[in-house]
Amino acid sequence: MIPPPELSQDDPDAVARQALVDVWLEVRPALLRFLTARTGSSATAEDLVQDVWLRLQALTGEAAAQVRHPQAFLYRMAANLALDGSKAQRRAGARDLEWRRAQGADAAGEAADAPSAEDATWARLKLEKVMTAIGRMPPKTAEAFRLHKLAGLSQAEVADRMGVSRSAVEKYISGALKELLLKVGWP
């Protein structure tokens, strides 16, 4: 272990920082017990004690010199970090629950098999618009689109089946996609 550098008594900020570090080292076991009791988790408490250390390291010498009661300061910092963590955990839980509800998940978090009535209605309307738009396309454009996007054939296979070049198929599909974007919107 490397011994700490000697502090110059001429630098009150450095002395104040070192005093805080010394108090942290002294009260670390008690802080750990305090945070374990607060959080109910020794692992979380360890993380929070480490966060206190990191915050101490980030303090400027001037800020450290302003601390009048180092032990109370450390406990307050630890309590605030635990409270922040608890609030973040509650917000994350509420956000996750809201997301599951919006996605149609049941109480156990499993996604529902069937879409909501609103989603099903929206999908039917969208499909009707798509089918209407495809029906209004030029015949070769509609055929190329159906074969490629709906039947799953490659562009080369569509070209062979339709008796046209692959470049023509690309133009047909591109035109169909532009038409759908204009008539139906995205997605």
Chain segment 13-23, per-residue pLDDT in tens: 788 888 888 99
DSSP 13: H
All domains in the chain, ordered by first residue: 12-102 (1.10.1740), 117-183 (1.10.10.10)
pLDDT reported for residue 110: 59
Distance from C-alpha of 162 to C-alpha of 148, rounded to nearest angstrom: 11
pLDDT reported for residue 119: 83
pTM, rounded to two decimals: 0.47
Give the ranges where 40-69 is alpha helix by DSSP (H).
Answer: 42-58, 61-66
Q: Which of 34-38, 111-115, 137-141, 164-168 has the lowest mean pLDDT?
A: 111-115
Contact 106, 56 (CB under 8 A): no
